[in-house]
A and B are shown apart, each in its own frame.
Chain A
Amino acid sequence: MVNAASLDAARIRRVVAGVVDPEIPVLTIEDLGVLRDVEVLGRQVVVTITPTYSGCPAMRQIADDIRSALEKEGVLDAEVTTVHSPAWSTEWISEQGHRKLAEFGVAPPTAEADVVCPRCRADEPKMIARFGSTACKALMVCSSCGEPFGYFKELQ
């Protein structure tokens, strides 16, 4: 039931911030630094996001997921806009995001020489492919335990 009262801005922000990345579902768009702003204007919500990579195909899905999450809160008037400036960098990924990535089996962004295997923590893994399963990842393999894993490429 949609009521006519103003929206609870804090709650709306929490809902939007909780939307997960469709490609790396352990990370929320807040962890990723993709979420730039949530504005609550009466019954309308304007969400601003920024792409990780120019051609990131997840952006459209993220926008849809935001609208869908807001719809469940009774927000029918939701606008999702994309900004390109300033350009996203991996420094925007939160500490929590780094931890979640490692737990998920993806090496979090760091200089290529400092990457450690997310499974056994051994250093000096081998680069297999600079372009991995998503735009933001490269594919590496651990020289110690043999585990292949995604490395979230550092982008400054």
Chain B
Amino acid sequence: MFSEQVLSGPPQGSPLPDPTDRVTMLLAHADDNMILAQRLGGWISNGPELEIDIALGNIALDHLGVARALYTQAGEIEGKGRHEDDFAMFRDERQFTNLLLVEQPNADFAHTILRQLFFDAYQVPLWEDLSGSNDDSLAGIAAKALKEAHYHLRFSAGWTVRMGDGTDESHCRAQTAADALWRFTAEMFEGSGDAYRSNWETKIRDVFAEAGLHVPEDPYQRTGGRSGFHTSHLGHLLTEMQWMQRSYPGLEW
């Protein structure tokens, strides 16, 4: 596995986040959901059909809601008076610890759906685990997120099958997207044990079998998001997402 961390090393003076730290953990999951929500929001008024436009908007809202709850929780535990907007709007690219997968561009509908499928299949077992947390508040957020993740997975898996098993054009686009995004999937399971990865792959293989898509075999993997090393896409996304709060700090609706 190629890790950007290993290739380039951490920059001087910026310690890597400690993944066992509770706030670090909450922020990583909050960032995943925040960045994906922002990405999905890019589809609003651009969806291929009205129903899909609404579906992607709804999914984005669920992710945004999860992000807000987790940021709030992280702020409370951290105890420095930081609120959700401080985390979402006033941190720089290097301070975001989201997965590289979720910051990848929407590209075409196939890329958006495959990105969603890979992420949903990862979120379901994650929220299953965290809903058993002894932290009641986190368990509650996770229990709700779990119900939503199941629903999202149904949507993303359903569309993967429809595209893979559809026309030559839709099949080709779905396979291209799967191949392009595969290198961002190992990162989801860094430090979480092989069982997670193999359960995830089983789910993906089932969906791909039904869709007539082949599971990429390429072992090349990119990581680094959890340590704040991002692809060039995140900076552009943050610029758009944060400019209003940065220009008018404290602005409220």
Q: Show the binding face of A for B, using Cβ within 8 Å.
A: 51, 53-57, 83-88, 128-133, 135, 139, 153, 155-156
- The minimal Cβ–Cβ distance linking A134 to chain B, given in whole angstroms, is 8
- The minimal Cβ–Cβ distance linking A37 to chain B, given in whole angstroms, is 15
Residues of chain B lying within 8 A (CB to CB) of residue A54: 61-66, 68-69, 141, 144-145, 148
Scan B27-65; emit 1 where CB is below 8 A from any A CB, else 0.
000000000010000000000000100110111111111
- Asked if B140 and A130 make an inter-chain contact with CB atoms under 8 angstroms apart, the answer reads no
- CB within 8 Å of A: which B140-165 residues: 140-141, 143-145, 147-148, 151, 154-155
- Asked if A131 and B51 make an inter-chain contact with CB atoms under 8 angstroms apart, the answer reads yes
Residues of chain A lying within 8 A (CB to CB) of residue B62: 53-55, 135
Scan B66-78; emit 1 where CB is below 8 A from any A CB, else 0.
1011000000000
Known: A54-B63, A135-B62. 9 other contacts (CB 8 A): A53-B144, A54-B65, A56-B61, A85-B140, A130-B154, A131-B59, A132-B54, A139-B51, A153-B151
Q: Which residue of the partner chain A has the closest CB to B49?
A: A129
B172 CB-CB contact with A under 8 Å? no
- Asked if A84 and B154 make an inter-chain contact with CB atoms under 8 angstroms apart, the answer reads no
Q: Show the binding face of B for A, using Cβ within 8 Å.
A: 37, 51, 54-55, 57-66, 68-69, 136-137, 139-141, 143-145, 147-148, 151, 154-155
Residues of chain A lying within 8 A (CB to CB) of residue B51: 128-129, 131, 139
Give the contacting residue for A133; candidates B37, B54, B144; CB below 8 A.
Answer: B54
Bound CA–CA A87/B37 (angstroms): 21
Bound CA–CA A133/B147 (angstroms): 19
Bound CA–CA A46/B148 (angstroms): 29
> What are 16 contact pairs spanning A and B, CB under 8 A?
A51-B144, A54-B61, A54-B62, A54-B65, A54-B69, A54-B148, A55-B65, A84-B137, A85-B137, A130-B151, A131-B155, A132-B54, A133-B54, A135-B62, A139-B51, A156-B147
Give the contacting residue for A87; candidates B54, B68, B144; CB below 8 A.
Answer: B144
- Asked if B140 and A51 make an inter-chain contact with CB atoms under 8 angstroms apart, the answer reads no
Interface of chain B: mostly helix, strand, loop or mixed: helix
Bound CA–CA A132/B69 (angstroms): 23
- Asked if A129 and B54 make an inter-chain contact with CB atoms under 8 angstroms apart, the answer reads yes
Bound CA–CA A85/B51 (angstroms): 31
Bound CA–CA A34/B63 (angstroms): 20
Q: Which residue of the partner chain A has the closest CB to B136?
A: A85
- The minimal Cβ–Cβ distance linking A44 to chain B, given in whole angstroms, is 22
Residues of chain A lying within 8 A (CB to CB) of residue B147: 87, 155-156
- Asked if A51 and B58 make an inter-chain contact with CB atoms under 8 angstroms apart, the answer reads no
Most chain-B Cβ atoms within 10 A of its Cβ — which of A55, A88, A128, A129? Answer: A55
Bound CA–CA A37/B19 (angstroms): 36
Residues of chain A lying within 8 A (CB to CB) of residue B148: 53-54
- Asked if A53 and B54 make an inter-chain contact with CB atoms under 8 angstroms apart, the answer reads no
